[in-house]
Amino acid sequence: RFSEDLDFDNFNLSREDFESIGGLIEKQLRRQGFEVEIRNVFKGAFHCYIKFPNLLYESGLSGHREEKILIQLDTEPQHFDFQPESHVLNKFDVFTNILTTPIDILLSQKLYAICNRPRPKGRDFFDVSFLLPRTKPNYGYLEQKMGIATPKDLKGAVLEACQTIDFEAMVKDVQAFLFNAKDEKRIRLFNEYFKQVEL
């Protein structure tokens, strides 16, 4: 699926470090000829909002001059010690080494989100159904964050959270971000899938 924002784990990044990253992004985008507006917000997590005014209008993608493209970067400390994995990115005319969160931690973060988000998001259900065939949850992470140390307890917590979920609303929430419309089933059938999946 497409992502609606970029999330980064914060490994002791200071407010000043984050502001300097925003400044560097602004400088590089301006150097490439883009008009940009950058705003940093520090409330719990660190947020950088990068707006491109007039770009949609000038490109003929919108008839509204005031409409802007927004790129949002969020970073927050996870308070869980893990070793990032190194991957070589070779896409979109970019070839570089990047550090990524291990897949078992990503899955566990999504499971945590399903159980704890004040407002559920369809993307969490999609991501869990996508990641579960590829890895198992990291129970060290789940125990620290939720006090859950066993597959049975995890299954119970997630299924309990699902009791109040309107999965059709979750499908609508994520529809615009799916590459294939058939992937709506990952959300629509999530409850049944999670009942039978091995954790």
Q: Which of 77, 95, 116 is the last residue of a domain?
A: 77
**Domain tally, the chain:** 2
Write down how long the chain is: 199
Containing domain of residue 73, as a range? Answer: 6-77
Q: What is the 3-state secondary structure (H, E, C) of 20-34?
A: HHHHHHHHHHHHCCC
Which pTM was predicted? 0.81
pLDDT tens-digit readout, 127-167:
999 999 999 999 999 999 999 999 999 999 999 999 999 99
- In which region does residue 51 sit, left (phi positive, over 0), alpha (psi from -120 to 50) or beta (all else)? beta
Give the residue with greater pLDDT, 2 vs 77.
77
Give the residue with greater pLDDT, 98 vs 11.
98
**Within this chain, do residues 190 and 114 fall inside the same structural domain, yes or no?**
yes
Answer whether 60's CB lies under 8 Å from 28's CB: no
pLDDT tens-digit readout, 32-75:
999 999 999 998 889 999 999 989 888 988 898 889 999 888 88
Write the single-letter amino acid at 110. Answer: K
Compute the distance between CA of residue 146 and CA of residue 76 in angstroms, rounded to an integer: 18
